[in-house]
Structure 1
Amino acid sequence: MNIIGLGNALVDVLLRLENDQVLHEIGFEKGTMDMISEQQMIAIRSSQQHLQKSQTPGGSACNTMRALANLGVNAGFIGKIGTDEVGEYYEQAVRKAGVTPYFIQTPGISGSCTVLISPDGERSMGTFLGPGPTILPEEIKEADLSNYHCLYIEGYLIVNEALLRGAVQKAKKLGLKVALDLSNFNIVKSFKRLLEDIIPNYVDILFSNESEAEAYTGQQAEDAVKTLSEIVDIAIVTLGKEGAIVRKKAETIRVKAEGGKPIDTTGAGDHFAAGFLYGQSVGGTLEQSARTGSLLAGHVIDVIGPEIPEFQWEQIKLKVREIFV
């Protein structure tokens, strides 16, 4: 199954905090993602220049596509970038990862996400989206989508209703499966009415974490996954250190979390989605797919940033093969 992602093209700037005091100083709630302006982004980084910093290509859907490419899946990514050095760096990084880029370029600066990593590994994000949310429905080309079997959409694009509707309608017209990650409970709360229309009518595979599932259904994870499975083909609710629940029709499976104490949880959900979609792309069972997702998530939380180091992938692929024996 060839898979193409649609999402915000963001460069992640990761800062390791000495303590959580700075979160209070800048008005961030720990563990959440807040949208910030270009000026706020610059101010936060300037005030934390003394901290250990690293930079990596990010964006939820792109993280998932790069992980899929590392597993050997034919993956593509649609996003919007600026004409600056950040956009150039991003495109080169995506190509290097083996993902086919379908970038829409517009004059100006590209988006980025400042990730503040607490000593316990929890991350709080301030995101300047740049041109990402301004993708127009007509910029999603059917000719590009037709090369794939599944369209994976990150929930951060829910704020662009015209784009979301246009993308899922084109995907269904071409016979693609649609996978959606709800991404953030605040977005779910703010756009619940839209989601109540889009999800039952267009979504085949729905990813969420506990808070997102509760924001949509008003229920705790065990009941939420049952409710969600009544409106989509496959419903997944990730539970952090408690693993994940997956349900398809009357079949429910649970998998445990992999990995040790997290160093940084950035990208955990993105990699779970990658592992699950990989399993489905090769005809795996729900359990095999979910175990692969848990395996990838367990590896990414052991490093700083949203990507697993290149040298680890051969060992990971051996473990994946064991799951599918």
Structure 2
Amino acid sequence: MKAIGIGNALVDVLLQLENDEILSSFGLQKGTMDLIDENQMVSIRKAQENLKRSQAPGGSVCNTMRAMAQLGASVGFIGKIGSDEAGAYYEEALRKANVISYFSHVPGISGSSTVMISPDAERTMATFLGPAATLTAEEIPDEVLSAYDCIYIEGYLIANERLFVPVLKQAKRLGLKVALDLSNFNVVNGFKELLLEVIPSYVDILFSNESEAEAFAGRQAEKAVSFISRMADISVVTMGSKGALVGCKDGIIRIPVSGGAPVDTTGAGDHFAAGFLYGLSAGRSLEKSARVGSFLAGCVVDIIGAQIPDRQWEQIKLKVREILS
């Protein structure tokens, strides 16, 4: 199964906070993702310019595709970037990661997400979408999608009316499986009616974390996963230290958490999805696929940021082969 992702192409700038005061001073709710404009982005960065920071190609779907490529999967990524240095950096990073990229280019600056990591490892994201928010289905040729078997879409795209539903219809018309991540409980709360309409019609695999699943289903996670799996063939609900649940027509599979106490939870859900989709691409069971997802999530929370260092991947691949054997 060849997978292609479509998401917001954003450069992540990760800041390690000394305390949470900066969050309240900018009106940010801890643990959430807020959209900001270019001026707000500059103000936040300037206020924290003395903090330790790092940069990486980001956006949740990009994180997932890069991790799948590291495991050896054949993957692609669709996005939109500017003509600046950040856009060039993003494109080159995907090339180095063996992800085939399909970018639309526009003049100007690229989108970015400032990821503020609290002392307790929780992350808060302030995101400037830039040109990423202007991608349309008309910019995605049928021949690009038809080269793949599965499309993975982030819920953040739901606000883009010219992209979200049209690309779901396009993917289904071309015979692709559709995997959707709900992305954030604010997405669920803001677009619940539309989600209730499109998920039964177009979505085969639905990813969510505990708060997103509960917001969508209106019930606790264990009941939410059953509710969702009546709409989509497969429902995956990640629950942090409590592990994960995978729902399907045959019942619920419980997956234990992997790894120790997290250093930074950035990218945990993205890597769970990467491991799960990789397991399915290799023709393995839902349980084994989810165990790979849990393992990858446990690896990424041990580091700062959503990019596992290259030097760790050989050992990771050995463990993944062991899980899938």
TM-score under structure 1 normalisation?
0.99
Q: Find the counterpart in structure 1 of residue 67 from structure 2.
A: 67
Distance in 1 of aligned mates of 2:141 and 2:199: 22
Deviation of 1:316 (Å):
0.6
Q: Find the counterpart in structure 2 of residue 29 from structure 1.
A: 29
Amino acid at match of 1:218: G
1:252-291 to structure 2, matched below 5 A, reads 252-291=252-291
The secondary structure found in structure 1 opposite 2:130 is: coil
> Aligned residues: percent identity?
64
Distance in 1 of aligned mates of 2:88 and 2:231: 40
Bigger drift between 7-16 and 256-265 goes to 256-265
1:186-225 to structure 2, matched below 5 A, reads 186-225=186-225
Amino acid at match of 2:52: Q
Amino acid at match of 2:243: G
TM-score under structure 2 normalisation?
0.99
Distance in 1 of aligned mates of 2:242 and 2:235: 17
Distance in 2 of aligned mates of 1:197 and 1:102: 29
Which stretches in structure 2 are left out of the alignment for 5+ residues? none
Write the deviation string for residues 248-304 of structure 1: whole angstroms up to 9, x where unpaired.
Answer: 103211111111111111100000000000011111111101000000000001111
Distance in 2 of aligned mates of 1:252 and 1:281: 21
Deviation of 1:113 (Å):
0.2
Write the deviation string for residues 208-244 of structure 1: whole angstroms up to 9, x where unpaired.
Answer: 0111111111011000000000010000110011110
Q: Find the counterpart in structure 2 of residue 38 from structure 1.
A: 38
Distance in 2 of aligned mates of 1:282 and 1:46: 45
Deviation of 1:324 (Å):
1.5
1:156-167 to structure 2, matched below 5 A, reads 156-167=156-167
| 4+ residue segments displaced more than 3 Å | none
Amino acid at match of 1:304: I
Deviation of 1:49 (Å):
0.6
Distance in 2 of aligned mates of 1:250 and 1:45: 48
Bigger drift between 268-277 and 132-141 goes to 132-141
Which stretches in structure 1 are left out of the alignment for 5+ residues? none
Distance in 2 of aligned mates of 1:85 and 1:321: 38
The secondary structure found in structure 2 opposite 1:162 is: coil
Write the deviation string for residues 110-164 of structure 1: whole angstroms up to 9, x where unpaired.
Answer: 0000000001111000000011111111111111001100000011101113311
Amino acid at match of 1:215: A
1:1-325 to structure 2, matched below 5 A, reads 1-325=1-325
The secondary structure found in structure 2 opposite 1:50 is: coil
Aligned residues: 325
The secondary structure found in structure 2 opposite 1:13 is: strand
Deviation of 1:74 (Å):
0.4
Distance in 1 of aligned mates of 2:120 and 2:310: 25
Bigger drift between 240-249 and 22-31 goes to 22-31
Write the deviation string for residues 155-189 of structure 1: whole angstroms up to 9, x where unpaired.
Answer: 11011133111111111111100000000000111
Amino acid at match of 1:234: I
Supply the RMSD in Å over aligned alpha carbons: 0.7
Distance in 2 of aligned mates of 1:134 and 1:193: 23
Amino acid at match of 2:317: K
Amino acid at match of 1:242: K
Distance in 1 of aligned mates of 2:20 and 2:160: 32
